Amino acid sequence: MSEAISIAVVGSGYVGLVAAVCFAEMGHDVICVDNDERKVAALQGGDTLIHENYLPELLERYRNTKVRFTTDLAEATRECEAIFIAVGTPQSETGDADLSYVEAVACEIARSLTSYKVIVEKSTVPVYTNEWIRRAIERNGVARELFDVVSNPEFLREGTAVVDFLHPDRIVVGADSERAAALLNGIYAPLTTGEYYTRPSHIEGVCNVATPPPLLNTSTKSAEIIKHASNAFLAVKISFINAVSNLCEATDANVEQVARGIGLDSRIGPKFLRPGIGYGGSCFPKDVAAFRSVAEQLGIDFGMLSEVEKINASQKKRFLAKVRSALWTLRGKRLAVLGLAFKGETDDIRESPAIDLVEMLIGEGCTVAAYDPAAIKRTEQELPAGAQLRYATDAFDAANDADALLVLTDWAEFAAIDLDKLYATLRYPIVIDGRNLFDPSVMQEHGFTYLSVGRPS
Ligand code: UGA
């Protein structure tokens, strides 16, 4: 068994909370700090507050034992060897990341720092943030030899966050000091030595056999750039296949065949080549804008990223045009919408293309009945039900008597829907699929008029 290390995680959002319970699962002792008292109370009581596979099980296992929740950052700083900052870095009006939460946490840590600590950036931050954190701590009177600041970006995806954290493709540790790098290497030792994978898994259904992930030691600046560049590259891949799907639509080619054909080239790879209504979520839109802004500030022309954003925005407009092409006029049409979350298996609606499309459809005078397995509660807060918008209790309730059904999120349960029942429920059997969840020939056999993305109908 590797050595247990005392770790504080500041921020209990997707990254912070998942990191906290996973570090406990790896054998460490964790204090999870959040300044929101209600959140802390909920977590102490076992409520994860977010929909994330396997998180409830791990929280139940470790809450108030190997993971304690508190609002007291000073105490956590005194007690722990490493302090991970996992607070939000929202997008500011100019497109830059707003780092005020990170700065506030750094200053608060500085005020209680009396013995050597390693402060770890886990939030997605622009290059040079490490230096700014160091300066902020020094400005608060802390001697340089009392701390190091390390960059350890997180690559987990929402929906598969726990599995991604414990079975990562790679771990990146950006440290400019050997002492700090050694501590971080120790924290991840259960994964990198493979020892964790020999233990019985606490997460039912997750195979614990894994190749130990490589840990890449880099400079702090390289690690910061790796995170932004990774997300930007994935966004490029999605916008690329979206643009190709438009070309396929114009030529009656099939984007699925094209994606398979290019993805089999190991230099390209098969993943992230699913076309759709554009990427969303709390990461890609914000990180592409922030990376573009970093480049601009450094005087570097990274115009490719603006093009990526342009293609992403145009995917929604193209989808709307597709709905219009199927229904002729939109005013007064009754539409069923399946999916509100920015992708399947999550209740997160931040920057969700599905929500944008619902708003656009309402703006066009449609009446929408929307269903999502997990995201209705969150959506209702932003987009209350009204004369033109109703939240349905299930997919068939949404489809009831609708002029067409639109698929906007790739939930697995939508792909498994009973097509005969759906056919009987809709007023007109028209399905416009923004996520390519169905096989066009199967839809045709069931009698649907079926439009999808980049595939002949
Ligand atoms: C993304 C990255 O995948 C993670 O590696 C990263 O850690 C995370 O951002 C972050 O920076 O925190 P996430 O936003 O959870 O993770 O979701 P993804 O699964 O990457 O999907 C992002 C968006 O792209 C979704 O709207 C999804 O529907 C869309 N997408 C994804 C496509 O349209 N096509 C694809 O082929 C893949």
In this structure, what token pair is assigned to residue 140?
A: 């608060």
Beta bridge partners of 418: none
d(CA 180, CA 319): 49
User: Roughly what angle, to the nearest 10 degrees, separates helices 255-263 and 220-251?
Assistant: 140
Domain chopping of the chain, boundaries: 6-218, 228-307
Rg of the chain, C-alpha, whole Å: 24
Q: Is residue 245 in contact with ligand 1, taking CB distance under 6 Å?
A: no
In this structure, what token pair is assigned to residue 445?
A: 């056999």
Which CATH class, in words, describes the domain spanning 6-218?
Answer: alpha beta
128 CB-near residues (< 8 Å, 6+ apart)? 221, 224
Q: Is residue 342 in contact with ligand 1, taking CB distance under 6 Å?
A: yes
Task: Give this complex's ipTM.
Answer: 0.98
Burial of 310 (0-12, 13-18, 19+ CB in 10 A): exposed
180 CA to centre of ligand 1 in angstroms? 30
Q: Is residue 76 in contact with ligand 1, taking CB distance under 6 Å?
A: no
Q: Is residue 231 in contact with ligand 1, taking CB distance under 6 Å?
A: yes
pLDDT at 1 over 80: no
Model confidence pLDDT, tens digit, residues 268-297: 999 999 999 999 999 999 999 999 999 999
Atom of ligand 1 nearest to the CA of 158: 15
Q: Is residue 352 in contact with ligand 1, taking CB distance under 6 Å?
A: no
238 CA to centre of ligand 1 in angstroms? 9
In this structure, what token pair is assigned to residue 67?
A: 């993971």
Q: Is residue 315 in contact with ligand 1, taking CB distance under 6 Å?
A: no
Mean pLDDT, residues 406-425 taken together = 98
> Does residue 22 have an active-site annotation?
no
Question: For residue 138, how far is the Cα from the chain centroid?
Answer: 33
Q: Which long-range contacts (CB under 8 A, 24 or more apart) does 439-448 make?
A: 443/419, 446/419, 446/420, 447/423, 448/419, 448/423
d(CA 193, CA 184): 13
230 CA to centre of ligand 1 in angstroms? 11
Fold of the domain built from segment(s) 228-307: N-(1-d-carboxylethyl)-l-norvaline Dehydrogenase; domain 2 (1.10.1040)
Q: Which residue CA neighbors atom 23 of ligand 1 most closely?
A: 279
d(CA 168, CA 191): 9
Q: What is the DSSP letter of 63?
A: B
Mean per-residue pLDDT over the chain, rounded: 96
Q: Where are the alpha helices (DSSP H) in 140-187?
A: 161-166, 178-187
Q: Which of 57, 63, 58, 19 is nearest to 45 (CA)?
A: 63
Q: Which residue CA neighbors atom 28 of ligand 1 most closely?
A: 343
Mean pLDDT, residues 49-62 taken together = 94
28 CA to centre of ligand 1 in angstroms? 28
Model confidence pLDDT, tens digit, residues 96-131: 989 999 999 999 999 999 999 999 999 999 999 999
Q: Which of 439, 442, 287, 444 is nearest to 455 (CA)?
A: 439
Q: What is the DSSP letter of 72?
A: -
454 CB-near residues (< 8 Å, 6+ apart)? 244, 245, 246, 248, 249, 253, 254, 255, 256, 258, 275, 436
pLDDT at 146 over 80: yes
| Residue 86 three-state SS | coil
Q: Where are the alpha helices (DSSP H) in 67-172?
A: 73-79, 100-111, 129-139, 161-166
- Buried b or exposed e, range 142-173, using 16+ CB within 10 angstroms: beeeebbbbbbbbebbbbebbbbbbbbeebbb
Q: Which residue CA neighbors atom 2 of ligand 1 most closely?
A: 157
22, 80, 283, 366: the active-site residue: 283
Model confidence pLDDT, tens digit, residues 351-398: 999 999 999 999 999 999 999 999 999 999 999 999 999 999 999 999
Residue 27 zone, left/alpha/beta (φ > 0; ψ -120 to 50; rest): left
Share of the chain above pLDDT 90, in %: 95
In this structure, what token pair is assigned to residue 139?
A: 């400005």
Q: What is the DSSP letter of 342?
A: S
Q: Is residue 165 in contact with ligand 1, taking CB distance under 6 Å?
A: no
Model confidence pLDDT, tens digit, residues 193-230: 999 999 888 777 676 777 899 999 999 999 999 999 99
195 CA to centre of ligand 1 in angstroms? 29
Q: Which residue CA neighbors atom 33 of ligand 1 most closely?
A: 279
Model confidence pLDDT, tens digit, residues 362-375: 999 999 999 999 99
In this structure, what token pair is assigned to residue 165?
A: 């954290």
Q: Where are the alpha helices (DSSP H) in 3-123?
A: 14-26, 37-44, 55-62, 73-79, 100-111
Q: Which of 390, 275, 410, 276 is nearest to 338 (CA)?
A: 410
d(CA 385, CA 20): 36
- Report the residue among 17, 165, 234 best suited for mutation to probe ligand 1: largest number of ligand atoms under 8 A from its CB: 234
164 CA to centre of ligand 1 in angstroms? 12
pLDDT at 95: 86
Q: Is residue 188 in contact with ligand 1, taking CB distance under 6 Å?
A: no
d(CA 183, CA 201): 25
